[in-house]
A and B are shown apart, each in its own frame.
Chain A
Amino acid sequence: MKTNALHMVGAINEALRQEMTKDERVVVYGEDVGVDGGVFRVTDGLHAEFGDQRCFDSPLAESGIVGTAIGLAINGMRPVVEIQFSGFLFEAFAQIMCHAVRVRNRSRGRFSCPMVIRTPYSGGIKALEHHIESEEAYLAHLAGLKVVIPSTPFDAKGLLLAAIRDPDPVVFFEPKRLYRSFKQEVPEQDYIIPIGKAALVREGTDLTLIAYGAMIRECHEAAALAEKEGISCQIVDVRTISPIDRETIIAAVQSTGRAIIVQEAPKSFSVASEIMSFLYENLFQSLKAPIARVTGFDVVNPMARGEDLYLPNQSRVFQEIKKVMG
């Protein structure tokens, strides 16, 4: 099997290119995604290769991008649209909430809305206000929507291919600090990583770290620190926020009896809150310690000069591991 060392940007680009080659219903559009190849160069070269009928710039209008994609999806296309930064998803939120996620249910299956909204997301690169936030909880609350967040180039390619082929709408959050932070061997061939499945990405026996996106790397580093102190941590990469893979997460925590959930988003009413809830509902009797959370804070996401105060990091995760282990 031939592989190439790719950044996440390259892996996503490869997934788009391969699926556009394979399925002529796939069209890619958004702000600056055409000639410019996107502000993060995720769509680099697609306009040149496929022409302006398949990959093109749209007017600067997020509701317009998503709303027209809904129409395209209803009428037989497979739109993959980009919202330039996830902070601008809210301009399109009404179209997502009132329409994209309801097309199938509203029409009792007569129509469906197979589309992907890709968007660079979350913090860690000292970007501008509205370019650093973590919005997954807003989206995960919508029945009828799938929410995916990859943590590696390999996962990004397989999850994006699964998202484009999914019969229902998917929001695909791309942690922008991972775009070019490391390379990984990514198979050239076509493969999918199923949506709705979490993955055990580090074996361990004492404690389960549950995270996704850019926080997976912080967890790996914290687990390495813990190992030096004789604490064995396993890590579950949630990968799909909604529908979340309860089975894998519960089984993992059952095996260790201890859990810490790590996310960048604010603590309250969050994905971590939901994971904590179903862990308690299912494992209350078998837990060896209270479940803990390492998260952003219930404040407005600080801009660049305060970002390090806000974002969870290996140090905060490691401190929490020691606390939970008592």
Chain B
Amino acid sequence: MSIIDKYDPLKEQMVQILDQDGNHKEDMLPAEMTDEVVKEMYEKIWYVRLCNDRAFKMQRSGRLGTFASVKGHEACQLAVNLAIKETDWVIPYFREQAIMWDHGVPMENIYLYWKGNEWGSHIPEGVKCLPPSVPVGSQMLHAVGISWAAKMRGEDEIAATFFGDGATSEGDFHEAMNFAGVFKTGTIFICQNNQYAISVRRNAQTAAKTIAQKALAYGMPGVLVDGNDPFAMYAVTKEAAERARKGEGPTLIEAYLYRFDDHTTSDDASKYRDDSEVENWKPRDAVIRMQKYLAKKGLWSEKYQEELIESLKPKVEEMVKKIDEHPDTTVDDMFGYTFAELSPEQERQKEYLKKSLEQ
């Protein structure tokens, strides 16, 4: 019996393989989660987190615009990426630094977008990942369309799309889930339920006990997963990916986790939540439990940690340098991509602006 079949979202059953003390359920541990893989993921989390922290400092010193912190979502995202193929699609909202990067988008691109430069969203050729989608929930329909196109063309591609708990209140959530159910598209819907939509708590978004149970109304399975548990996220996403690839249709995964930082750099979460709540969640952070798991196996030490951080610092600074050095938007950039071919009036406006800037 698959995990997806076994866990009932109506009974609020949550899939967990690795608990917060670093103990795991041996019978459920995915074979792919070798020590090497776990260690690599642990190191990736730290890279993503250090970049995130560094970007925060850049924002505070005016070198970057507003952005949404990924802290607390990294393991969930990296586990999903491990469970899908490089040839599959990732359709993010705007808190997906970890999976975007791991799927092939350079980290400097991700933050260049938050600096206000569209070149950040020039996804490298061959990387199947869409740029961030700021209108909440709207990207889920694109994921349905993308995986549907793959199905129509007989391509071995599926799509994993991300959204928050707040997005489940949007009409596009309903329409995307409904289309995916009706047309049995190969879509994996991953709701990162981080308990807040800016300041509004999860229980103010829906009277449903779980978000996962909403799937049942669309004729697809839904499963509640401990989003801070990369083993559980991996195992469940892998099953969802197999279902999608076999033409069995979409799956909704509710990744239950916590947004450790403010909503974005423009927010102050202390206005609407107590520090004690944040403190209570901290021990459940994936990075802590993975550290404990690795330590039990003799694969983690303070020295290893120090060396890891030291080794990552130059990589982070490399990202900073690339962001700082990237040229600002030009007139040609601004006009060049509205259409495949500019209209005569757009050409005139472009020339006008160029001349105006020369004066």
Do A167 and B340 touch (CB < 8 A)?
yes
Task: Output the nearest chain B residue to A278 by Cβ-Cβ distance.
Answer: B345
Note all chain B residues with C-beta closer than 8 A to A144: 338-339
Do B172 and A63 touch (CB < 8 A)?
yes
Task: Output the nearest chain B residue to A29 by Cβ-Cβ distance.
Answer: B183
- Given A67-B138, A71-B142, check contact A77 B152 (CB 8 Å): yes
Contact of B146 among A59, A75, A146, A243 (CB under 8 A): A75
- Is A61 an interface residue, CB under 8 A from the partner? yes
Considering only residues 83-109 of chain A, those with a C-beta below 8 Å from chain B are: 94-95, 98-99, 104-109
Chain B min CB distance to A109 (Å)? 5
Chain A min CB distance to B23 (Å)? 41
- Given A70-B141, A108-B118, check contact A75 B150 (CB 8 Å): yes
Task: Output the nearest chain B residue to A105 by Cβ-Cβ distance.
Answer: B337
Note all chain A residues with C-beta closer than 8 A to B118: 105-108
- Is B175 an interface residue, CB under 8 A from the partner? yes
Note all chain A residues with C-beta closer than 8 A to B134: 98
Considering only residues 99-149 of chain B, those with a C-beta below 8 Å from chain A are: 118-119, 121-123, 125, 130-131, 133-135, 138, 140-149
Note all chain B residues with C-beta closer than 8 A to A246: 344-345
B158-185 interface bits toward A, Cβ cutoff 8 Å, 1 = contact, 0 = none: 0100000000000110111011001000
Interface of chain B, helix or strand or loop or mixed? helix
Considering only residues 307-359 of chain B, those with a C-beta below 8 Å from chain A are: 333, 336-341, 343-346
Chain A min CB distance to B100 (Å)? 13
Task: Output the nearest chain A residue to B124 by Cβ-Cβ distance.
Answer: A110
CA–CA, A59 and B333, complex, Å: 39
Contact of A104 among B140, B141, B175, B337 (CB under 8 A): B337
Note all chain A residues with C-beta closer than 8 A to B333: 108
Contact of B149 among A75, A196, A247 (CB under 8 A): A75
- Is B153 an interface residue, CB under 8 A from the partner? yes
- Given A71-B149, A72-B145, check contact A110 B340 (CB 8 Å): no
Do B345 and A243 touch (CB < 8 A)?
yes
Note all chain A residues with C-beta closer than 8 A to B343: 196, 243
- Given A63-B172, A98-B135, A168-B339, check contact A27 B141 (CB 8 Å): no
Contact of B178 among A53, A59, A106 (CB under 8 A): A59
Do B141 and A67 touch (CB < 8 A)?
yes
A121-151 interface bits toward B, Cβ cutoff 8 Å, 1 = contact, 0 = none: 0000000000000000000000110100000
Considering only residues 52-70 of chain A, those with a C-beta below 8 Å from chain B are: 53, 58-59, 61, 63-64, 66-70
B67-93 interface bits toward A, Cβ cutoff 8 Å, 1 = contact, 0 = none: 000000000000000000000010000
Note all chain A residues with C-beta closer than 8 A to B175: 59, 61, 63-64, 67
- Is A112 an interface residue, CB under 8 A from the partner? yes
CA–CA, A146 and B333, complex, Å: 20
CA–CA, A112 and B338, complex, Å: 10
Chain B min CB distance to A276 (Å)? 15
Do B171 and A63 touch (CB < 8 A)?
yes
Chain B min CB distance to A321 (Å)? 29
CA–CA, A112 and B143, complex, Å: 15
Note all chain B residues with C-beta closer than 8 A to A59: 175, 178-179, 182
Contact of B122 among A67, A73, A110, A168 (CB under 8 A): A110
Note all chain A residues with C-beta closer than 8 A to B135: 94, 98-99
- Is A162 an interface residue, CB under 8 A from the partner? no
Chain A min CB distance to B331 (Å)? 14
Chain B min CB distance to A281 (Å)? 11
CA–CA, A260 and B51, complex, Å: 60
- Is A280 an interface residue, CB under 8 A from the partner? no
Chain B min CB distance to A120 (Å)? 22
Task: Output the nearest chain A residue to B144 by Cβ-Cβ distance.
Answer: A68
Do B338 and A71 touch (CB < 8 A)?
no
Do A72 and B344 touch (CB < 8 A)?
no
CA–CA, A53 and B152, complex, Å: 8
Q: Which of A64, A73, A77, A246 has the most CB of B within 10 A?
A: A64
Note all chain B residues with C-beta closer than 8 A to A108: 118-119, 121-122, 333, 337
Note all chain B residues with C-beta closer than 8 A to A95: 138, 141, 172
Note all chain B residues with C-beta closer than 8 A to A63: 141, 171-172, 175
- Is A50 an interface residue, CB under 8 A from the partner? no
Note all chain A residues with C-beta closer than 8 A to B89: 75
Contact of A107 among B123, B142, B344 (CB under 8 A): B123
Do A68 and B179 touch (CB < 8 A)?
yes
CA–CA, A313 and B131, complex, Å: 48
Task: Output the nearest chain A residue to B172 by Cβ-Cβ distance.
Answer: A63
Do A75 and B145 touch (CB < 8 A)?
yes
CA–CA, A104 and B333, complex, Å: 12
Do B150 and A243 touch (CB < 8 A)?
no
Task: Output the nearest chain A residue to B339 by Cβ-Cβ distance.
Answer: A168
- Is A193 an interface residue, CB under 8 A from the partner? no
Do B121 and A71 touch (CB < 8 A)?
no
A-B contact list, 11 entries, CB within 8 Å: A59-B175, A63-B141, A63-B172, A67-B144, A67-B145, A75-B146, A95-B141, A98-B138, A110-B125, A243-B345, A247-B344
Please name the 4 residue pairs, one residue from A and one from B, whose CB atoms are nearest each other, closest first: A71-B145, A67-B141, A243-B343, A64-B175
Q: Apart from A104-B337, A108-B337, what are 8 other A-B pairs with CB-CB below 8 Å?
A: A27-B152, A64-B176, A79-B145, A95-B138, A99-B138, A111-B123, A167-B339, A168-B340
